[in-house]
Amino acid sequence: MARNALNFFEPYESLPPRHENQLTRALVVVLRFSPMAHAVWLRRVDRELVLQELPAVDWRVQRRDIVPAGTTVEFDGLRVISVFMSGERADGGGDVEATQRDQVLDAIALYGTELAIVVENKVTAGPDDWQARSLNIGGFALVLDKQPVRLQWRDVLGDLVELVSRQLISGAEAGVVEDFLEFTEAYFDDLLPFNTLAICHSSVARQQRRLRMILTEASGIQARPGYPPSVPLPGAITVERAYLELGSDEIHLSLYAADTLTQPKALYTRPEAIDGLRRLRASGWRLAPGFHWGHLAKGYAWTPSPLDVDDYMDLWIAEIPNTRQVKRADWDDYWDWLIERRVVHREARDEFRVYFDNTERQSATPRPSLSARRSWPLAQAEHLDSVRGRFAAVVRKALREAVDALHEKVAWSAAEPG
């Protein structure tokens, strides 16, 4: 008897548990034994597909042929959907085409002679969907859907988490799904859904990932991984990015204006932007000076300022027309001026020495940056995020408020978040 790779009790090849083929096989086992999981996955593939209206499914993994070899059944006209599952977002690279390539398909779901769903799974960074776009149909007259369906693992896993948390499945079916989620937690934790801040509360890494998702939804722009997550503000001239930061007991939406070589002149010569910042302060935003130094594209030696933020803005409105690169020979005089005008504390020169005096650099450019920050208590953010993702809407409103206050015309994504 042929060994069945989808039998719980059969060892599956000699692959390590972190291999993506193990993950594919585990998902197919879940879809095979949980009708509810199968139904919600099917809706991710095509919202028009209804499980109970399809013929019984035949699941196979790691096979070369979409249609089983040696079949005597008529499969001409079979609809084929190519599904690309990945850990990261994969943008479209073209249409699905019939080719003669030597393929090994990660998984195939064959619904009688009506439908076949072919799955390609990639969990590596920078996933390429070319295999999902190149299918060897074995000489049959199959009908390929034009574009592959691109699914992210976090969405699929999020659906399974919801089935369990909402008690929509029970008994052995729930046990299979919970075992699968435990498996992904152990071996593919970077794929796990962090669909609410409350769920992520015990892990800073998970909180950061969830904040990246919230910022992406709030802005309509794919947020950049990292600490903290951020999105570019295309078209803005006074600020480059927006950040969603995790504090000890707060979440902060932060913008750092006048932070690069050209932004200070753009900010402090625009009265409407300065007035907008003052209005932000009155509506609950915290403004703070962030003076530092630039050399080429990088910033160095950030230092707190003893000046009140209003006095700080007034000073640079007056001084920015004359502010330019400072040569090494003039550093002492410029520092005397900064200290006299209370832009910096005297001891801030110590860090400047590390990055400038004690190097071969011959110039330094003042960057009179200013941060604008809107904060929410972590408990409030967790609650809002648990109520149909309302925290993303709150962040979206605050982000638009800050951009409007700066009188920027940001080229937001054409696909506005819902």
Least confident of 70-79, 194-203, 339-348: 194-203
Residue 171: per-residue pLDDT: 92
Mean pLDDT of 347-352: 91
Q: Do 146 and 222 fall into the same domain?
A: no
Distances (CA, A) of 413 to 220, 238, 336, 386, 417: 5, 19, 46, 25, 9
Q: Is the pLDDT of residue 418 over 50?
A: no
Q: How far apart are CA 95 and CA 361, in angstroms?
A: 52
Q: How far apart are CA 220 and CA 217, in angstroms?
A: 5
Residue-number span of the structural domain to which 60 is assigned: 20-171
Q: Do 242 and 383 fall into the same domain?
A: yes
**Structural domain total, the chain:** 2
Q: Do 254 and 159 fall into the same domain?
A: no
195 domain residue, yes or no: no
pTM to 2 decimals?
0.61
> pLDDT digits over 335-347, tens only?
999 999 999 999 9
Q: Do 165 and 240 fall into the same domain?
A: no
Residue 414: per-residue pLDDT: 38
Q: Do 133 and 212 fall into the same domain?
A: no
Quick one: CA dihedral 11, 12, 13, 15, positive or negative?
A: negative
Last residue of a domain, one of 171, 189, 217: 171
Last residue of a domain, one of 171, 193, 220: 171
Task: State the distance between the two ends of the chain, measured CA to CA, in whole angstroms.
Answer: 52
Residue 9: per-residue pLDDT: 37
Q: Three-class SS of residue 263?
A: helix
| Longest pairwise C-alpha distance within the chain | 91
Mean pLDDT, the chain, rounded, equals 88
105 domain residue, yes or no: yes
Mean pLDDT of 108-114: 95
Which residues, listed in sequence order, are joined to residue 293 by a DSSP beta bridge? 300, 366
Q: Do 164 and 210 fall into the same domain?
A: no
Q: Is the pLDDT of residue 389 over 60?
A: yes
Residue 198: per-residue pLDDT: 86
Last residue of a domain, one of 171, 192, 217: 171
Q: Do 290 and 360 fall into the same domain?
A: yes
Residue 381: per-residue pLDDT: 95
10 domain residue, yes or no: no
389 domain residue, yes or no: yes
Q: How far apart are CA 361 and CA 359, in angstroms?
A: 5
335 domain residue, yes or no: yes
Residue 415: per-residue pLDDT: 36
Of all residues in the chain, what percent carry a pLDDT higher than 70? Answer: 93
Q: Three-class SS of residue 167?
A: coil
191 domain residue, yes or no: no
> pLDDT digits over 131-144, tens only?
999 999 888 899 99
Q: Do 162 and 238 fall into the same domain?
A: no
Q: Do 70 and 113 fall into the same domain?
A: yes
